[in-house]
Chains A and B, each alone.
Chain A
Amino acid sequence: MEQLSYFLAATVRMAIPLLIAALGLSVAERAGMMNIGAEGIMLMGAFAGYTAARLLGSYWLGAVVAMIVGVLFTGIFAVLAISCRTQQVVVGAAINMLGAGVTSVLYRKLFYQVGTGISGMMVESFPSIPIPLLSSIPVLGPMLFNHNALVYVGYFLVAAVWFIMYRTSLGLKIIACGEHPKAADSLGINVIKMRYMTTLASGALLGLAGAYLSIAQTNAFGEDMTGGKGFIAMAVVILGKWTPLGITAGAVLFGGANALQMSVQNWGVAIPNNIIMMIPYVATVVAVVAVSKKRVGAPSAQGVPYIKS
């Protein structure tokens, strides 16, 4: 029972960064963007969040700075992909390499000292805030309502994205820009502006998702600490068929795979660690292959620059 409870709570903790990143990506993708630079942007967010939390002494400021850095860094992608109409996949790949390089160099230059040990590198991170009453429900309580504040932000974002996409005129415009940009333009919708807005918003969420890794889930930065989570978030978007609820389910599935990996390691089963650590990645491949047979739900104009005659 305790192990189950631990597993479920870990599932949620592991799912949240994927959820926040995937929600952001889904909005930009529905407007017609294909940002494979998610990994690099998350890494920048993780580093910026850690740096700000350490220098300013506040994890909240860390989260805010991570979002700002996410927006700025995504801005590079946005300008190149939207205004310069560069191949989105190429720019995205460059963003990933840039993110990995910049964070490594700055981290070593600013913080890393031989012999300090990990303890010297730690910052104060988002503490768990049990929600009164709700957190005392058996199983569900610890699973959903005994987490750090960013987990609750994640819950809120699911509802917010759902509301915007399906209940507002803004949502209709975003979908129109991704499905049939020329039609959107013919109705006076500024496709370029919509794509900038959604892409930059996704940058903020990617930055936040990155900060979650360094100042909520752990309390230190590590080189390449995203470990492919940006790519997994992209898979979650596909798995969730670009809908907020589908993405939530997808994030929980991958969070579960991660939690399972940790649990299996804890149980001390006699399987080589390397094999166990493959679980989330294998799950990604299997899940994406399973749904990609029918790529329903993919925005028709995804990754195609809009060129006005």
Chain B
Amino acid sequence: MNVVEMRHIYKYFGNFCANEDVNFSLEEGEVHALLGENGAGKSTLMNILYGLYVHNEGSILINGEEVHMDSPSVAIEKGIGMVHQHFMLIPQLTVTENIFLGMKETGFVLDRKDLQRQVEELNNRYGFNVKPDAVIWQVPVGVQQKVEILKVLMRKARILILDEPSAVLTPDEVVELFNSVKALSREGYSIILITHKMSEVLNYADRVTVMRQGRVVDTVRVADTDENELARMMVGRDVDLDRKITGADFGKALLEVKDLTVRNDKGLEAVKNVSFTVREGEIVGIAGVDGNGQLELGEAIVGLRRIERGELKLNGNTVTAAAIRERLDEGLGHIPDDRLKKGLVLQLPIKENLIMGMQRSEKYAKGIFMRRDAIQSHAEKLVEEFDVRPADIEYLAGGLSGGNQQKVILAREVDREPNVLLAIQPTRGLDIGATEFVRNKLVEERSRRKAVLLISTDLDEIISLSDRILIIYNGAFMGEVQYDTPLEEFSLLMAGRGSKEKKGEAV
């Protein structure tokens, strides 16, 4: 029997159609993957099912009965629970408080002991092992996700929506998560898995619905399909994300980091005595689970964060305490982790975003006046070369899709001819097509004898692009590995259990 049926769903945001004539059904006890690129409309569809968005047309049936789904409380009442990609937890409250937040069953005056006991019970039943009185901001993301799932189970949901659940987890935690998911489906829970990772679909789902540009391409049994077919359905053409790095002819060191220590926003040491170099014609990848100091390391190299101790050299010159401007003059290019906040000025057009960082250059400015013609022709050239769409240099950066925003940043940074290109999460949130484009550009920079430092939490990306791979855990390197190292070893190192350079901290 179908526990969920969504029929002919339409959803508009202004003129933009996010869901167009979408049909979707979920059988009892199945794991049903919803696969598609970013912006394909997967999350929109599920937010509609959960009552966070209201659809413009179409109908929703839960257990065969039509439901007017206009608020999450309706969805909760109908036994639907959602684990959001960005966790919906209140950092300042405890695990127990988060689980019971908004539940009528608690009554007005809270009986904390009784609530904690209920959490313990659920914990034991599903082997979650979460401390009920821990405060959320103090527990790791893997645990936070378990809290999200407990929250849903406590509300007696039978239909679970998991939105990109593996995005923030270590490989180990991912396996653990999907084991729990399979266990829940065996107990009769029906699960919708929103993802853009094909391996998860093939390994853990029973059926898969593929979406592209707001429409459903097809729904198929996982047993009847394969990776290539799914990729074709998602993108609409063949894609090639295989490793293209060949040969090794490294020159002199362009980026040298020695005994670097950096503090995070809370004043704790986020990067601890880290040393490495990146040479001409080399891509060095820094892999690790989010929050292990890689962001602070990147910011320290760019100059956005003060270096506590240690030394930083660009092109052979010490820039440890140099201003960002001096570092840029030394030939540093930077693709930031957050393109919206650090990469672009969203309210300005493409052409002005394309000269940012070069606004003082004589090429584009004469005294306090900008050279409009030069800016214009520069922008026109890059927009064509990098295939930015729409190819309108007056278009505001904020109106572009993620992939095109990233192309603008990439175009700007590559065009400056940097010696060292620092790319932090360069394909986060991009669809496969744009990912392919960005990765090819990075490889191109390598062939042009630049030094590329790639910081990414996407292990596939690190493996397919890096000459050498450093694994960061808790602010220190766990060791250097080759791209063909077995995955199990990667996941051990990323979880801080080094087989090579053991740090002596049992975790």
A contact set with B: CB distance below 8 Å: 167-170, 172-173, 175-176, 179-180, 182-189, 300, 308-309
Contact = CB atoms under 8 A, between A and B. Distances in A.
Closest 4 pairs between A and B when the two form their complex, measured CB to CB: A188-B73, A187-B102, A183-B88, A189-B102
A180 B106 contact: no
Interface in B60-89: 71-73, 76, 82, 84, 87-89
A172 to B, nearest CB: 5
Contacts of A186: 50, 52, 72, 82, 84, 88
Most chain B CB atoms below 10 A, which of A175, A182, A183: A183
Contact of A169 (B47, B53, B82, B107): B107
Contacts of B108: 168-170
10 contacts: A169-B100, A169-B110, A172-B101, A172-B110, A175-B93, A183-B87, A186-B52, A187-B101, A189-B102, A309-B47
Nearest to A171: B110
B89 A183 contact: yes
Nearest to B102: A187
Contacts of B151: 187
Contacts of B50: 186
Interface of B: 13, 47, 50, 52-53, 71-73, 76, 82, 84, 87-93, 97, 100-103, 106-110, 151
Contacts of B87: 183
What is the predominant secondary structure among interface residues of chain B facing chain A?
Answer: loop
A180 B89 contact: yes
Nearest to B267: A294
Contacts of B72: 185-188
B53 A309 contact: yes
B155 to A, nearest CB: 9
A183 B84 CA distance: 9
Given A169-B110, A188-B76, A175 B92 contact: yes
A168 B109 contact: yes
Given A169-B106, A172-B110, A188 B71 contact: yes
Given A179-B93, A183-B87, A308-B52, 5 more contacts: A168-B108, A169-B103, A169-B109, A185-B72, A187-B102
Contact of A184 (B91, B101, B103, B109): B101
A251 to B, nearest CB: 23
Given A183-B89, A186-B82, A186-B88, A168 B101 contact: no
Given A180-B90, A183-B90, A309 B52 contact: yes
B52 A179 contact: no
A184 B452 CA distance: 43
Contacts of A184: 90, 101-102
Contacts of A167: 109-110
A265 to B, nearest CB: 43
Contacts of B100: 169, 172
